[in-house]
């Protein structure tokens, strides 16, 4: 397994990029993108252009590159909004899910790094673990396609990370004969289950506080920051939100939590 602080050479990423460079410029892909753009004014400007300016992102390949190179608050917010649009429209066109996976690859690399590329789990190496991350991404996409989520990027990557993390912990615990039940497991704890960790207790508390006075955005920031391990800088990049606003939400939430 690779060192937790280094990114291994992952052939799957190169393979997906090569595949994408072909299918992302195909006539069918261009038609799919054009259909989505026709339903969103902001995307229409990029994909279809205006009477005065030609399109800057006429193909899905161009759009993915445009989103990945977003710089500054306004561009990051727009890139995050486009992910929200694509997730909402993915229910009508399976190709949109493929485009979203390609957009999320840098985020999946970050998720894999935070999970130490599956070290200690059932995967042979980082390559196999990243394949698991891509498969998990497809499953989440299939479940969420058609949903309108204001924080789509963060929601997607958080869900993917949580599922991989639970699988990793189950695998580790199986090696020592203990039991780990994920937050969405239907099984009841048994007397032999290991004690709840501090992070799991915090996650349970935050879920319980949702709807009991703490604002949803405060719960989201606290959960992503303290439970999932994202820094405020990473959350700003993923969501397109201003760092100061995220710090303010985190601090308000922490005050409410300690009140």
Predicted local confidence at residue 190, as pLDDT: 38
Average pLDDT, rounded, for the chain? 81
Instruction: Indicate whether 164 pLDDT > 70.
Output: yes
Query: Has this prediction a pTM greater than 0.85?
Result: no
Q: Distance between CA 207 and CA 219 in Å, rounded?
A: 8
Query: Which is nearest to 21 in space by CA: 68, 73, 59, 69?
Result: 59
Domain 195-254, CATH class in plain words:
mainly alpha
- 113 CB contacts (<8 Å, ≥6 apart)? 4, 5, 7
Q: How confident is the model over 75-79, as a mean pLDDT? A: 92
Residue whose C-alpha is closest to residue 108's, from 131, 80, 82: 131
Q: Which span out of 28-37, 186-195, 238-247 was modeled with the highest average pLDDT?
A: 28-37
pLDDT value at residue 80: 93
Cα–Cα distance measured from residue 232 to residue 220, given in angstroms and rounded to the nearest whole number: 12
User: For residues 243 and 167, what is the distance between their CA atoms, to the nearest angstrom?
Assistant: 31
Which residues of the chain are in CATH 1.10.10 domains?
195-254
C-alpha 17/C-alpha 246 separation (Å) is 33
* pLDDT tier for residue 253 given thresholds of 50, 70 and 90: confident
210: helix, strand or coil: strand
Residues 226/202, Cβ–Cβ less than 8 Å: yes
3-state helix, strand, coil in the chain (%, to 5): 65, 0, 30
Q: What are residue 214's DSSP bridge partners?
A: 210
**Beta-carbon contacts of residue 199 (< 8 Å; ≥ 6 apart):** 226, 227
């Amino acid at each position: 397994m690779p060192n937790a602080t280094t990114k291994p050479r992952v052939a799957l990423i190169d393979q997906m990029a090569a595949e994408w460079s072909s299918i992302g410029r195909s006539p069918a892909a261009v038609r799919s993108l054009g259909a989505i753009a026709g339903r969103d004014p902001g995307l229409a400007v990029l994909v279809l252009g205006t009477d005065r300016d030609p399109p800057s992102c006429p193909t899905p390949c161009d759009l993915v590159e445009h989103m990945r190179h977003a710089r500054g608050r306004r561009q990051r917010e727009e890139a995050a909004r486009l992910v929200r649009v694509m997730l909402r429209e993915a229910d009508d066109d399976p190709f949109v899910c493929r485009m979203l996976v390609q957009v999320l690859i840098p985020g999946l690399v970050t998720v894999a790094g935070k999970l130490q590329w599956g070290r200690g789990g059932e995967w042979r190496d980082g390559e196999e673990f990243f394949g698991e991350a891509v498969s998990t991404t497809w499953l989440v996409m299939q479940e969420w396609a058609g949903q309108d989520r204001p924080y789509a990027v963060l929601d997607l990557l958080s869900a993917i990370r949580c599922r991989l993390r639970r699988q990793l912990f189950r695998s580790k615990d199986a090696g020592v004969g203990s039991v780990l039940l994920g937050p969405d497991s239907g099984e009841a704890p048994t007397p032999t289950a290991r004690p709840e960790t501090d992070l799991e207790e915090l996650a349970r508390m935050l879920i319980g506080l949702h709807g009991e006075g703490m604002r949803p955005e405060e719960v989201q920031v606290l959960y992503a920051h303290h439970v999932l391990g994202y820094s405020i800088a990473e959350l700003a990049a993923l969501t397109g939100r201003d760092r100061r606003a995220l710090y303010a939400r985190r601090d308000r939430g922490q005050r409410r939590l300690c009140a």
